[in-house]
């Protein structure tokens, strides 16, 4: 997917973030006096810029927009990819890297072709860390927004009997399929599309590492797809969204079991009572 990167210059990036996070941005990067916001190029850029111009009447900031073709992400991340270790539980590496020393419980091989889902991002790291605490044996699982397929692959390694993995991006699905072969997986079914297009199944564990807006929109469907007593892991949103996500999940009927923070990012473990 092509993206627009909107770079904001402001004295208070966190305050500005609170005012723009309702817009359909996929991710944010906060730095001193700067905020980068990434939005799919297919979104109505003119409408968003009009809203930002109106916001400038209330807040002091400037912004500029840069077009980022999808292929640039691939080239940058493949050339800079380094192995990832999540404690002694899981390691993610390319075939050209040596095995982990000391060894990890589960090793995943990937071809680093995508910017999100390789494990470098804090949200993916936390999702893996939380998966270590759950019992996947004999359960069905769903990787919603599978990216490179890492979480689905780990779910199979942890004993899940059947896993569905879906992503809206064709390159992500292709990359996932490639990784299934690399890791000798046989219990994962991949789908290209949205949650609405996926055949309704029921799962013991659902993994949703996407973004705030998609998670909020999907909560009712995910609740219905989750078995009673099952777990939903969500990430892809920032610390300022914690209360919004907590209140929304409680209203939907979930119980919040744990909230983990890494950098400015959040991961929540939810249970369906």
E strand residue ranges, the chain? 3-10, 27-31, 34-40, 61-68, 84-86, 90-93, 106-109, 140-144, 162-167, 188-192, 203-209, 226-238, 254-262, 265-272
Helices (H) and strands (E) in the chain, counts: 8, 14
For residue 4, is pLDDT > 60? Answer: yes
Q: What is the percent of the chain with per-residue pLDDT over 70, rounded to a whole number? A: 91
Inter-residue contact 88 to 133 (CB < 8 Å): no
| Token pair recorded at residue 10 | 């402001």
* Predicted pLDDT of residue 107: 97
| CATH number, domain with residue 9 | 3.30.70
CB 218 within 8 A of CB 195: yes
Q: Which stretch of 70-74, 87-91, 238-242 has the lowest confidence by average pLDDT?
A: 70-74
Q: Do 29 and 146 lie in a common domain?
A: no
Q: Does residue 99 lie within any of the structural domains?
A: no
> Residue 190: inside a domain, yes or no?
yes
Listed range (61-70, 115-124, 128-137, 215-224) with the worst mean pLDDT: 115-124
| Exposure on the CB side of residue 27, measured as CA atoms within 13 A | 14
Q: Judge whether 46 lies within some domain.
A: yes
How many residues are recorded in the chain?
Answer: 273
Say which residues have a Cβ less than 8 Å from residue 95's Cβ, sequence separation at least 6: 109, 111, 182
Q: Look at residue 223 and tell me if it is in a domain.
A: yes
User: Does 111 reside within a domain?
Assistant: no
> pLDDT-based confidence at 22, cuts 50/70/90?
confident
263: pLDDT strictly greater than 70:
yes
User: Please, which pLDDT band fits residue 78 given cuts at 50, 70 and 90?
Assistant: low
- The percent of residues above 90 in pLDDT, for the chain, comes to 56
pLDDT class of 116 with cuts at 50, 70, 90 = very low
Judged by average pLDDT, the poorest of 50-54, 133-137, 227-231 is: 50-54
Q: Is 145 in the same domain as 250? A: yes
Domain count, the chain: 2
For residue 53, the enclosing domain spans: 3-68
DSSP string, 172-238: HHHHHHHHHHHTT--SEEEEES-GGGSPP--EEEEEEES-HHHHHHHHHHHHHHEEEEEEEEEEEEE
| 3-state SS assignment for residue 73 | helix
pLDDT in tens, 163-202: 999 998 888 898 899 999 999 999 999 999 988 767 768 9
Residue 70 has pLDDT above 90, yes or no: no
Mean pLDDT of 72-81: 56
Longest pairwise C-alpha distance within the chain: 56
Mean pLDDT for the stretch of residues 255-265: 92
Reported pTM: 0.75
pLDDT tens by residue, 93-105 = 988 789 999 999 9
Instruction: Kindly report the CATH number assigned to the domain that includes residue 196.
Output: 3.40.50.150
The neighbour count for residue 34, using CB atoms within 10 Å, is 13
């Amino acid at each position: 997917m092509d993206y627009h990167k909107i770079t904001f210059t402001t004295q208070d990036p966190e305050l500005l973030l609170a005012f723009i996070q309702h817009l359909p941005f996929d991710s944010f990067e906060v730095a001193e006096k700067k905020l980068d916001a990434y939005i799919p190029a297919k979104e109505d850029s003119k409408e968003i810029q009009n809203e930002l111009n109106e916001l400038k009447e209330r807040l002091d900031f400037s912004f500029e927009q840069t077009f980022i073709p999808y292929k640039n992400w691939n080239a940058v991340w493949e050339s800079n990819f380094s192995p990832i270790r999540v404690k002694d539980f899981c390691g993610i590496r390319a075939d050209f890297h040596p095995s982990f020393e000391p060894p990890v419980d589960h090793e995943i091989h990937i071809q680093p072709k995508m910017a999100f889902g390789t494990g470098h991002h804090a949200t993916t790291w936390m999702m893996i860390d939380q998966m270590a605490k759950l019992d996947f044996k004999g359960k069905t699982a769903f990787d919603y927004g599978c990216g490179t397929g890492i979480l689905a692959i780990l779910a199979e390694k942890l004993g899940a009997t059947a896993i569905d993995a879906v992503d809206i991006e064709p390159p992500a699905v292709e990359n996932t399929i490639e990784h299934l072969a690399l890791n000798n997986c046989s219990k994962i079914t991949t789908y290209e599309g949205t949650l609405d297009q996926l055949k309704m199944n029921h799962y013991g564990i659902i993994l949703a590492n996407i973004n705030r807006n998609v998670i909020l929109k999907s909560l009712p469907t995910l609740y219905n797809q989750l078995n009673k007593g099952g777990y939903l892991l969500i990430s892809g949103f920032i610390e300022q969204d914690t209360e919004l996500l907590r209140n929304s999940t409680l209203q939907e009927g979930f119980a919040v079991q744990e909230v983990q923070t890494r950098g400015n990012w959040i991961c929540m473990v939810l249970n369906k009572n």
